[in-house]
Amino acid sequence: MENDIVWTPVMSVNDKNIDSQHKEIIETLRKFGEKIVLRANINQVKGLIDVFEDYSVKHLDHEEKYMKAHKFPELDNHKKLHDSYKEYFKDLNKKLKDEQSDQFLAKLVDIERFLSNWWTNHILVEDRKYALYIKSHPK
């Protein structure tokens, strides 16, 4: 994909576990983009979306516990962003349920673009906020 995303050290939030989860998320998105280009069959792509939703939602939950443990004062706002991401998947799954393959393939590019933009912005802008807070307020 022309808007392929890669994890770079500037995305680090100074936590090994969370960084590796972010890397996994970005890597999965890259594979998703490849599958679209290769026009993989619809069930493969739906399967990948399910796995991605599951993994990324687990990450968000892990991150919320991490922010709570470090008493990040803007946890509530951050949680709202995570919640709206979860809502996006709820809607998406409803829409995908009845999709016919032709229409579905056309929408994949938009889904991939949305997710790539969401994750790039979220890691670089929003996750950075707790990373900076925790760095300046060590336990």
Q: How far apart are CA 99 and CA 27, in angstroms?
A: 26
How far apart are CB 42 and Fe ion at their closest, in Å? Answer: 29
Q: How many residues bind to Fe ion according to rule CB under 5 A?
A: 2
Which residue, 63 or 112, has its beta carbon nearer to Fe ion?
63
Question: In terms of CB distance, is 112 or 127 closer to Fe ion?
Answer: 127
CA distance 29 to 38: 14
> Structure tokens of 53?
């939703």
CB 108 within 8 A of CB 79: no
Are 7 and 26 in contact by the 8 Å Cβ rule? The answer is: yes
Least Å from the CB of residue 79 to Fe ion:
9
Stretch touching Fe ion by CB under 5 A, among 26-34, 87-95, 104-112, 125-133: 125-133
Between 32 and 72, CB nearer to Fe ion: 72
Footprint (CB under 5 A) of Fe ion, residues 62-101: 63
Q: Does 127 bind Fe ion (CB under 5 A)?
A: yes
CA torsion, ordered 69, 126, 20, 135, to nearest 10 deg = -50
Interface with Fe ion (CB under 5 A): 63, 127
